[in-house]
Amino acid sequence: MLNPRWEITPITDSSKVQKLKEALKVPEIIAKLLVNRGIDTFDKSKTFFRPELEELHNPFLMEDMEVAVERINLAIRQQEKVLIYGDYDVDGTTSVALVYSYLKQYTQRIGHYQPDRYTEGYGISFQGIEYAKEHDYSLIIALDCGTKAVEKIAKANEYGIDFIIADHHTPGDELPQAKAILNPKKETCKYPYKELCGCGIGFKLIQAFVEANQYDQDEVYSLLDFVAIAIGADIVPITGENRVLAYYGLKEIEKNPRVGIQTILELAKKKSPLTISDLVFTIAPRINAAGRIDTARNAVELLLSKNKEDAEEWSTLINQYNDERKEIDQTITAEALKILENDTFQTKKSIVISSPNWHKGVVGIVASRLIEKHYKPTIVLVESDGLATGSARSVKGFNVYEAISACTPLLERFGGHKYAAGLTLSIDNLEAFKKQFEEVVANTITPEQLQPVISIDGELFPHDFNLDGGKFPKFYRLMKQMAPFGPQNMKPVFVMKNLINTGYSKVVGGEHLKTALKQTDTGRIFNGIGFGLAEKLTLLDDKQQVDVVFQIDENNFFGTPELQMMIKDIRPSN
């Protein structure tokens, strides 16, 4: 893998940093972190550090919301059958669990449906429409999908089935003829915040339903655990409204975890306090594994569990799926890396590989693994029944969705976001697609985008680590309050310069680096761990001064809390 480029985020406005430092009475590094996140006044800082549910936007600002709520109320009054339809990933399954569990209080004539990843593919399917017709559903609420399902919804209309779409994916040139389309990314939608995930839009729908019917608003907020999980898993920005939703969703999981989520945390031996990263790396993979290995319905049933016994049964099954997913993922990644050893791949700006022997459920994960190694826009496909179906992942700054869109004539279907997409094409078009996708990428990607980059928030000095009245340093305590971290509010990354090995740094676990480094100017020693950085030990053993890029974490391994470096990269000092 290429050595990452280090980029220290410049101070956008040093006068704002100084004013904020004085107004908040905080260390300068904290003021800089805030200003570079657009938080440059006392009032903005107060809102950032103390999110309030009152800051959530009026759900009726979303186009078609009034129509959607009226249609749901009509269905309940007329005792129509309502089908809650959601995609098979974390965003989709949490969306279904949220909307279904709430509306079930008001109608027993309600069901939920998740498409099969392998027989139906992403989003609304004709098979799903037929299921609704056969079971007499007259209203479908589609969550985390549907914005591009023009033909499918036309078929539903023929059957007299109405659709409410609650989706966040980028619309195509033509919108389906649904009863209501709730999507802030529609050009005509004036909703103030555009970055909600699918579950977030499902929450806004329920919020509007509650408001219109004058039901208990607090009951709606108990659903925010679902939204927090989806926000983390779907990698949407944790800014604005998403920050409020994630903040209170995490609190809900901490204080009052529903039994299904609690059993996952217990199986994973994950304890409080929880972070967004815990949701992303503990809960989300297990929920995702259900749809990857078997059916997402299993994940929904877990999330809907009412008692411990049922929840343990579902979570044990899903945990087994996750173990199986890991094994498959490792096997396919190894095979894919072997293929990429071929010289023909070395000169290309993109990667498109396929096999009839791979498991469709893990190709997105494999694509991400390949980027870790080769750092190029990557598509991994599975060949079956004349079609190649799979997932795309991208590198920082490059819009893989647009690159795929440029190849539309060669595709059966596609959808997704800037950094992740899914696509299906005829195997007959595969070679032509590889050629055209490579041409598009080669003509649009920059050399900088083909080199991994570590964004650094600023330099830390030994005195920053001084204890404050026997407590962790003030800057660290304040930094923790900047959570929840995620896109556009990432956990801060720092650099410390002029460190030297004490002689106690060593490789652990075969591939990880455990360090004990001394800062040469002060003699202060800093402990750290660098996962996957074992090869850097030779650099430390040369007894030369090094600069270290790291995040800060607490280590309670020996019972006494201390701060340690979570090392991301090391290089010789200038």
Q: What is the per-residue DSSP string for 58-100?
A: PGGGSTTHHHHHHHHHHHHHTT-EEEEEE-SSHHHHHHHHHHH
13: helix, coil or strand?
coil
Q: Are 282 and 265 in contact (CB under 8 A)?
A: yes
Integer Cα distance of 513 and 530 in angstroms: 5
Backbone conformation region of residue 416, classed left if phi is above 0, alpha if psi is from -120 to 50, else beta = left
Confidence of residue 537 (pLDDT cuts 50, 70, 90): very high
Sorting pLDDT into bands at 50, 70 and 90, what band is 308?
A: very high
d(C-alpha 514, C-alpha 458), whole Å: 23
For residue 390, what are the β-bridge partners?
381, 423
Distance CA 76, CA 377 (A): 47
Residue 469 has a pLDDT of 78
| Residues β-bridged to residue 527 | 516
pLDDT tens track for 330-341: 999 999 999 998
Q: Say if residue 1's pLDDT is above 70.
A: no
| 121 pLDDT tier (thresholds 50, 70, 90) | confident
Question: Helix, strand, or coil here: 304?
Answer: helix
CB 303 within 8 A of CB 95: no
Residues 300, 565: Cα–Cα separation, whole Å: 38
Position 345 confidence tier, pLDDT thresholds 50, 70, 90: confident
The 3-class secondary structure across 185-250, one letter per residue, is: CCCCCCCCCCCCCHHHHHHHHHHHHHHHHCCCHHHHHCCHHHHHHHHHHCCCCCCHHHHHHHHHHH
Backbone dihedral angles phi then psi of residue 308, each to the nearest 5 degrees: -60, -40
pLDDT at 418: 87
At 149 the three-state DSSP class reads coil
Q: How many CB atoms lie within 10 A of CB 486?
A: 23
As a residue count, the chain comes to: 574
Mean confidence (pLDDT) of the chain? 94
pLDDT over 80 (residue 81): yes
Query: In terms of Cα–Cα distance, which of 220, 234, 222 is closest to 93?
Result: 234
How far apart (Å, rounded) are the C-alpha atoms in residues 533 and 545?
Answer: 17
Q: What is the pLDDT of residues 10-21, one digit of tens each?
A: 877 899 999 999
Interval 48-63: pLDDT, tens: 999 999 999 999 999 9
Q: What is the mean pLDDT of residues 438-444?
A: 97
Task: Note the pLDDT tens digit of each residue in 29-47.
Answer: 999 999 999 999 999 999 9
Quick check: helix, strand or coil at residue 16?
helix
Which pLDDT tens digit goes with each residue over 454-491?
Answer: 999 999 999 888 877 778 999 999 999 999 999 999 99
Asked whether the predicted pLDDT for residue 403 surpasses 80, the reply is yes
Domains of the chain: 59-226 (3.90.1640.30), 340-452 (3.10.310.30)
pTM for the model stands at 0.91
- Using an 8 Å Cβ cutoff, are 200 and 216 in contact? no
Residue 559 to residue 502: CA distance in whole angstroms? 23
Task: Give the residue among 117, 173, 119, 169 at the shortest CA–CA distance from 142.
Answer: 169
